[in-house]
């Protein structure tokens, strides 16, 4: 009788023997190796038991001393870091506030001294009249209000975060202004596609002037046909190659609507403008303008002063009455300082001249430029005059912005001056220029389709608007011209070849 064969292969020794199955791994082992396998499992169990006991001990230790728990450590570190940040922020704010106070009083004293000098000058020259008295009275009221008004510096708390962060808010101290990159069109930009067959500029000196002033490659030769399509128009909701702008205290925008030969005023947040000067066709008769380039408003009598470019004159409009202030001048940029002196850039004589109120019958005083090699300008366009009567000039064909301090004999380069180009240390045919309350220089870098900010003494500027190639999208510009800030430091740009005014809102 044959015995039954119940032998199978052992997983460990690979020999046919009587084997036993492990319930855990389902492998079969001979008796010897089953014992070994069980010992291995027991050893692993002991190891796990030891790890468990160690972990239990760790838990008990952390219960007794929770500071070593990782989460508590992170919280503790956050607490330490937050306290340090708060202390540093508080120290910075104290320092900033202490630095502001002397500057604040120095500004008040400077304004008061300037006003005192004007009073003395009026006494000495015996030139007292109602306009001067109103001006002096208003200046004294403004200085008094500024001295008694603490609102220019305050504490701002950001209550949205768990830790309230504080910072000093002051128009004179803010150092990191930024603007939304998608602008809002606040005037113009409502044109229809049209085609101009010929440019109505004969081959004259003034045609050459406008070929350069209204920028870049549109007029390669003023005698040939201009074949560039453009959105433009002469309706009250349209503009045609706007040049300079002026913004008053109520955010009304005065625009030199150059190729519509008019000055239009767009009241704040309206859909169309109203004609304040010109608009009666191109010409030099009463009520007419011929390619106005720039415009400013004399805040003392609310008259409009216009650089009437192709007529080669500076003209004043007051209650629809016109008065020619300066004749035979290739005027481009206009500015008026706090004392009422009028500044005009003469693009063909490469200089800026200044006139005293009511004394426009003389030649004025050269305050920038001239033909000395050190001071030479090459087609100056827009200008700006700061509180210290320093004159900033867009030196267009030298691709730079120059600064002449009051009574200086030569200027200094404050932006560009490294040849024509699009690098951050270069400009290309700069146009509008404006200085903010911090003394930062903003330039319409026309041929680069961008606005740049420069700080005096720095080798490079920074793009603050545009710079995304020429175009008509909300984040693009096309040959920007005039620049201006409103009282809230929103930036306005004359987007000339898009026939619109763009507002870049400041990010608070």
Whether 385 has a pLDDT exceeding 90, the answer reads yes
* Residue 444 pLDDT: 98
Is residue 64 scored above 90 in pLDDT?
A: no
197: confidence class by pLDDT, cuts 50, 70, 90: very low
> What is the length of the chain?
508
What DSSP state is assigned to residue 302?
T
Is residue 246 within 8 Å of residue 296, measured between CB atoms?
yes
User: How confident is the model over 317-322, as a mean pLDDT?
Assistant: 89
> Residue 319: is its pLDDT beyond 90?
no
Rounded Cα distance between 448 and 472, Å, is 14
236-269 in b/e form (b: 16+ CB < 10 A) is bbbbbbbbbbbbeeebbbbbbbbbbbbbbbbeee
pLDDT band at 73 (very low <50, low <70, confident <90, very high): confident
> For residue 70, what pLDDT band results from cuts at 50, 70 and 90?
low
For tokens 């320093």, name the residue: 390
pLDDT band at 157 (very low <50, low <70, confident <90, very high): low
pLDDT at 206 over 80: no
State yes or no: pLDDT of 315 exceeds 90: yes
> What CATH code would you report for 179-200+226-507?
2.120.10.30
- pTM of the predicted structure, to 2 decimals: 0.62
For residue 336, report the phi and psi dihedrals to the nearest 5 degrees.
Answer: -135, 130
Q: Percent of the chain having pLDDT more than 70?
A: 82
Residue 140, pLDDT score: 80
The reported pLDDT for the residue numbered 190 is 87
Query: How confident is the model over 345-365, as a mean pLDDT?
Result: 91
Highest mean pLDDT, choosing among 211-215, 221-225, 414-418, 469-473? 414-418
| Among the listed residues 398, 392, 391, 474, the one whose alpha carbon sits nearest the alpha carbon of residue 433 | 392
Round to whole Å and give the CA distance between 500 and 296. 18
Locus of tokens 């389902």: 26
217 pLDDT tier (thresholds 50, 70, 90): very low
What was the pLDDT predicted at 151?
Answer: 53
C-alpha distances out from residue 54 to 59, 194, 332, Å: 9, 85, 86
What is the pLDDT confidence band of residue 467, given thresholds at 50, 70 and 90?
Answer: very high
Whole-number pLDDT of residue 159? 54
Place of tokens 């700006």: 384
3-state secondary structure of 130: helix
Tell me the range of 97-106, 167-176, 409-418 where mean pLDDT is highest: 409-418
């Amino acid at each position: 009788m044959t015995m039954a064969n119940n032998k199978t292969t052992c997983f460990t020794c690979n020999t046919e023997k009587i084997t036993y199955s492990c319930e855990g791994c389902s492998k079969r082992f001979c008796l010897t190796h089953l014992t070994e396998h069980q010992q291995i499992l027991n050893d692993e169990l002991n190891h796990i038991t030891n790890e468990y006991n160690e972990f239990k001990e760790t838990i008990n230790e952390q219960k007794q001393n929770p500071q070593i728990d990782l989460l508590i450590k992170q919280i503790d570190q956050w607490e330490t870091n937050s306290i340090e940040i708060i202390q540093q922020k508080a120290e910075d704010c104290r320092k900033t506030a202490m630095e502001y106070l002397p500057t604040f009083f120095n500004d008040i004293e400077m304004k008061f001294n300037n006003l005192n000098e004007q009073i003395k000058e009026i006494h000495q020259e015996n030139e007292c009249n109602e306009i001067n008295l109103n001006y002096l009275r208003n200046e004294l009221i403004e200085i008094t209000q500024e001295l008694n008004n603490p609102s220019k510096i305050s504490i701002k708390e950001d209550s949205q975060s768990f830790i309230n962060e504080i910072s000093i808010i002051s128009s004179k101290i803010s150092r990191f202004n930024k603007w939304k990159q998608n602008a809002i069109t606040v005037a113009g930009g409502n044109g229809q596609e049209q085609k101009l067959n010929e440019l109505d500029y004969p081959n004259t000196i003034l045609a050459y002037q406008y070929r350069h002033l209204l920028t870049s490659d549109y007029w390669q030769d003023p005698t040939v046909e201009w074949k560039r399509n453009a959105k433009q128009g002469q309706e009250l909701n349209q503009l045609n190659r706007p040049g300079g702008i002026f913004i008053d205290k109520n955010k009304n925008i005065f625009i030199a609507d150059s190729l519509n030969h008019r000055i239009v005023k767009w009241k704040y947040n309206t859909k169309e403008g109203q004609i304040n000067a010109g608009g009666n066709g191109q010409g030099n008769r009463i009520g007419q303008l011929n390619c106005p380039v720039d415009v400013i408003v004399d805040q003392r009598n609310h008259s409009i002063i216009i650089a009437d470019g192709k007529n080669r004159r500076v003209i004043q409009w007051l209650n629809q009455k016109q008065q020619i202030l300066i004749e035979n001048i290739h005027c481009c940029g206009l500015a008026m300082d706090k004392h009422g002196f009028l500044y005009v850039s003469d693009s063909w004589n490469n200089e800026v001249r200044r006139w005293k109120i009511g004394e426009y019958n003389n030649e004025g005083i050269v305050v920038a430029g001239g033909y000395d090699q050190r001071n030479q300008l090459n087609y100056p366009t827009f200008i700006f005059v700061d509180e210290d009567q320093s004159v900033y000039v867009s030196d267009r064909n030298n691709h730079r912005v120059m600064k002449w301090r009051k009574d200086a004999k030569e200027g200094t380069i404050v932006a560009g001056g490294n040849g024509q180009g699009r690098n951050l240390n270069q400009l290309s045919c700069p146009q509008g220029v404006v200085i903010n309350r911090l003394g930062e220089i903003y330039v319409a870098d026309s041929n680069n389709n961008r606005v740049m900010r420069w700080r005096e003494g720095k080798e490079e500027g920074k793009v603050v608007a545009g710079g995304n190639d020429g175009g008509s999208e909300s984040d693009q510009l096309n040959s920007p011209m005039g620049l201006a800030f409103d009282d809230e430091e929103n930036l306005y740009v004359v987007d000339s070849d898009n026939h619109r005014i763009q507002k870049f809102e400041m990010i608070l």
